[in-house]
Structures are given as C-alpha cells and as structure tokens.
Amino acid sequence: MLTIKSLGDFSAIVYSCSMIKYFNKFLVIIGFLSIICSLAGCTDSESKQRDEYFIRVGDSVITVLDFNRAFEIAKVSYLHSAMQQPSAAGEAQLRLVKQMTEEMILLERARDLGIKITDAEVKKAIEDIKRDYPANVFDQILLEYAVPYHSWEKGLETRLLMEKVVMKELGDQIAVTPDDISKYYEEHYKNDKMTSDIKEVSKDINEIIIKNLRRKKIEKAYKPWIKKLQKKYIIEINKAQWEKITISQTVQ
C-alpha cells in the first residue's frame, strides 16, 4: 500500500490558447473525481467492487479504468512535450492520485456528517458558472471532451458537496476579527484618496475583505485538517496496479 501525504495545490502548465484556458477553469470548478464519478458511478457500486480497484476509501472505489480516464483529461492541462517525459508524467500521475484520494475522503466525510446538496444550490451554481463563459464556449468544452451535460451537472453537485464539507468543518471555526480587517485594509486598500479608518470603508469593501480573509484562513487550516481525516479513514492504493501504470508510462 502506498503512503498518501496531504495534497497541495494541483498546479499545471497551461496552454496559451483560449479554449484550453477555459477548459482549465472548467477542471478547477469540477475536479477530476467529480467528472469520473458522474460518468462512471464510482461510489457504492457492486460492479465496481468486482473490477480491479485502484483506489479505495471507505465505500468509494476508483478503478484502474477510472484513473486512466481521469489522467487523459488531466494531461490536457500540461504541455504536450512535458507529458512525453516519463518523470514529468509520473509526477502528474502521483498528483492526481493524491487529489482523487482527498476528494474521496471528503465524500466519505459528507456521508458521515449527513451533508447533502439541494437542487436549488446546484441551479444557482450553474447560473454563476455559465455567466463567466463567452457564448457557446461552455457547450463547446463539454462537446470536445465528450462530457454529457447531465454528467457534468452531477459532477458539479459532487464538487459542491466537497466544498460544503470543508466550509462546515473549517468555515464555522474561522473568526475574522476587526483587527484582521484593519490590517488587511492597510495592506491592500489604503492610498492617498482613502482614509485609514476602517469605519469609513464601504460595506462592499468590508465584505470583500472578510471573504478574502476567511478564504485564506480556511486554506491555512485545510492541510492539518485533511491529515487528521486521512488517519480516520482507511485508504487503499493497489500497489501492483500502480506499478503497472507507471511502467506503461515509462515505455510509451
């Protein structure tokens, strides 16, 4: 069994063309596991249990086929020349394993906490996402990468569920003090035309500051929190299959 450490940010070298830019934004919103789960039904499936598993966390299973499919999608976020190097491709595979494992842990945590996503929450998220895309670009992405709209929508629901778990576990514990707001304002908003008195800052700027501070504090608290969760759940990585995957990448 491989040892899984906490996942940092899933960074990638992005192509400069506009379609790739929007596709990468698409991946950030949805996440690889969300796509695979929606297309393949990776959770609570008896047929999946009979297949050769690659990653297993509690009741959630990712098969070798699921992982390979996710990696083909992930490679789009990298320069083609980089993926021709076995070492670079291997590092990308390991990042994906870590990311998918953490996402599976979050789904297990959602079950334990009884957290769910409503239809209204999904509908609002879809409206917010599509607003950021030029006309027809979003539909082109789904078509080009053979992702049915219904599957994309289910994937979005999965992603929202994971985010809700993080906010429930960490967001409720985060406190933003007046001193925090004052310091952030001094560093980012103070200039010759604006007073340093935080009471005179507009309500909109206050809300932006609080939102940014909460996000940063949650990001800081995430790593130690996910490490604790990793100890709570049994994480199984099929070492034999992992070796086959890395060998196949080397001989390509």
The pLDDT assigned to 109 comes to: 94
Give the residue ranges of DSSP H helices in the chain. 18-30, 32-40, 46-50, 64-74, 86-113, 119-131, 137-144, 149-169, 178-188, 203-232, 239-251
Cα–Cα distance, 155 to 179 (Å, whole number): 39
Length of the chain: 252
Of 175, 185, 233, 235, nearest to 206 (Cα)?
185
pTM reported for the whole predicted model: 0.70
Tokens of 77: 């976020």
Query: Using a CB cutoff of 8 Å and minimum separation of 24, what contacts does 128-132 make?
Result: 129/29, 129/156, 132/25
| CATH fold group of domain 18-162+234-251 | Triger factor/SurA peptide-binding fold (1.10.4030)
Question: How many other C-beta atoms are found inside a 10 Å radius of the C-beta of residue 197?
Answer: 9
Cα–Cα distance, 245 to 240 (Å, whole number): 9
Answer yes or no: are the C-beta atoms of 67 and 94 closer than 8 Å: no
Main-chain dihedrals φ then ψ at residue 54, nearest 5 degrees: -115, -45
In the chain, which residues have pLDDT < 50? 1-30, 38-41, 43, 45-50, 192, 195-196, 198-201
Q: pLDDT tens digits for 201-240?
A: 466 788 888 888 988 888 889 889 999 999 999 999 999 9
Domain ranges of the chain: 18-162+234-251
CA angle, residues 61, 63, 243, in degrees to nearest 5? 120
